[in-house]
Amino acid sequence: MPELPEVQTVVDDLNKKIKGDIITDFWSEWPKAIKEKTLATFKKEIVGRKILGVRRIGKNIFVDLSDKKTLYLHLKMTGHLLIKIQNPNDKFQIKSKNQILKSKEVDYFADRVNQYVRHKFFLRTDAKQQNIDESTNGKVDTVKNFVDSNRYDKVIEFSDVRKFAKIVLVDTDKVLELPEIKALGVDAVSPEFTFKKFNEILDKKAKSLIGIILMDQHLIAGIGNIYRSEILFAAGILPTRQAEKISLAERKKLFIWIGNILQKAIVLRGTSDSDYRDTSGAPGGFQKVLQVYRKAGEKCQKCDTIVVRETIGQRSVFFCPKCQK
């Protein structure tokens, strides 16, 4: 499930792999995901635009394009983006990764969860950009390889088993005015998310359960079901505690752990509990260090007490009844 760390990993990968590229074509088998526009209109409006950069707010991804348009993506539950790069030895066909694998490498793209490709963005390395890069490296000018506008050398495949993900083309200068974005709370790893702010949120939501507050995107943007359980375990606080009953010292501890857990998860490239994969199709690393999420019935790693699963707000939350008060 893509939460803030998974989305951050994807955004970083995209900036590394496709920034500066030009969209040459688009395909979809599930046009319902494209909001407000027909498939034909959407395609017409994105083809020819250059990818200027990628950013995110909470779990929302923004791919800024040339001429003031932005692709607004939300991965929802099972969405993930796979970037397939053309084998440089074969200029006209994308090779499946296993064809160019070394003997011991794993073919992550072949993983079942990567097979539900609903949309494809075809990309071409910008001719000018390519020219500049190659001259910098002192290589031969290959600009003639990129003059054909139908050529592509990369594809972003949007895999999404459950088809909840959405794609919207919006005006770049209106991104922050989108109702979904305007309604978001403070991003959990932004400098604006200070302890003072966190404290105010808890005061405002005095009667609400902390387990629900942490996941509410309208209050704090970025935390989902996996990290709320992990954060609360690390901070030693029960998900069912009411905000007003949480002491100042506990609030400080909790605030610190929100940052710590999310940062650690970003470093480990997210959690691949089920469907999430990075842009290479590879799983993240945080599932290996999960303490309580989906560990119901197992022993707590700190005290050997059995980890419990409860439902709050129609969602499972996991905790250690001894370590968390």
Residue 284 found at the interface with DNA (CB under 7 A) = no
Residue 134 half-sphere exposure toward CB, CA atoms < 13 A: 15
Q: Which two tokens stand for residue 48?
A: 């020819």
Name residue 208's amino acid. Answer: S
Mark residues 131-160: x for contact with DNA by CB under 7 A, - for none. Answer: ------------------------------
| Cα distance between residue 41 and residue 179, in whole Å | 23
Minimal distance, residue 74 CB to DNA, in Å? 6
| Cα distance between residue 260 and residue 133, in whole Å | 38
Number of CB atoms found within 10 A of residue 88's CB: 8
Number of CB atoms found within 10 A of residue 20's CB: 17
Residue 309 found at the interface with DNA (CB under 7 A) = yes
Among 49, 50, 59, 154, indicate the residue that binds DNA (CB under 7 A): 59
| Cα distance between residue 235 and residue 254, in whole Å | 5
Q: Which residues are registered as beta bridge partners of 69?
A: 65, 171
Name residue 38's amino acid. Answer: T
- 46-54, 97-105, 162-170, 249-257 -> range binding DNA (CB under 7 A): 162-170
CA neighbor of 47 nearest in space, from 20, 73, 75, 66: 66
Residue 188 found at the interface with DNA (CB under 7 A) = no
183 versus 303: smaller Cβ distance to DNA: 183
264 versus 309: smaller Cβ distance to DNA: 309
Task: Enumerate residues 6+ apart whose C-beta is below 8 A from 139.
Answer: none
Minimal distance, residue 115 CB to DNA, in Å? 8
Give the chain's length. 325
45 versus 180: smaller Cβ distance to DNA: 180
163 versus 264: smaller Cβ distance to DNA: 163
| Cα distance between residue 94 and residue 97, in whole Å | 9
Name residue 156's amino acid. Answer: I
64 versus 187: smaller Cβ distance to DNA: 187
- 134-142, 251-259, 281-289, 309-317 -> range binding DNA (CB under 7 A): 309-317
60 versus 279: smaller Cβ distance to DNA: 60
209 versus 268: smaller Cβ distance to DNA: 209
Among 21, 56, 58, 251, indicate the residue that binds DNA (CB under 7 A): 58
Instruction: Identify residues 66-85 at the interface with DNA (CB under 7 A).
Output: 74, 76-77
Q: Which residues are registered as beta bridge partners of 54?
A: 63
Residue 117 found at the interface with DNA (CB under 7 A) = no
Residue 215 found at the interface with DNA (CB under 7 A) = yes
Instruction: Identify residues 219-248 at the interface with DNA (CB under 7 A).
Output: 224-226
| Cα distance between residue 233 and residue 298, in whole Å | 14
Residue 207 found at the interface with DNA (CB under 7 A) = yes
Q: How many residues bind DNA (CB under 7 A)?
A: 32
Among 15, 142, 217, 287, indicate the residue that binds DNA (CB under 7 A): 217
Residue 55 found at the interface with DNA (CB under 7 A) = no
Q: Which long-range contacts (CB under 8 A, 24 or more apart) does 285-292 make?
A: 286/5, 289/264, 290/226, 290/230, 291/230, 291/233, 291/234, 291/320, 292/229, 292/230, 292/233, 292/318, 292/319, 292/320
23 versus 169: smaller Cβ distance to DNA: 169
User: Strand 186-187 and strand 166-171: pairing?
Assistant: unpaired
23 versus 261: smaller Cβ distance to DNA: 261
Binding residues vs DNA (CB under 7 A): 1, 3, 32, 58-60, 74, 76-77, 112, 116, 161-164, 180, 183, 205, 207-208, 215, 217, 224-226, 294, 309, 311, 313-316
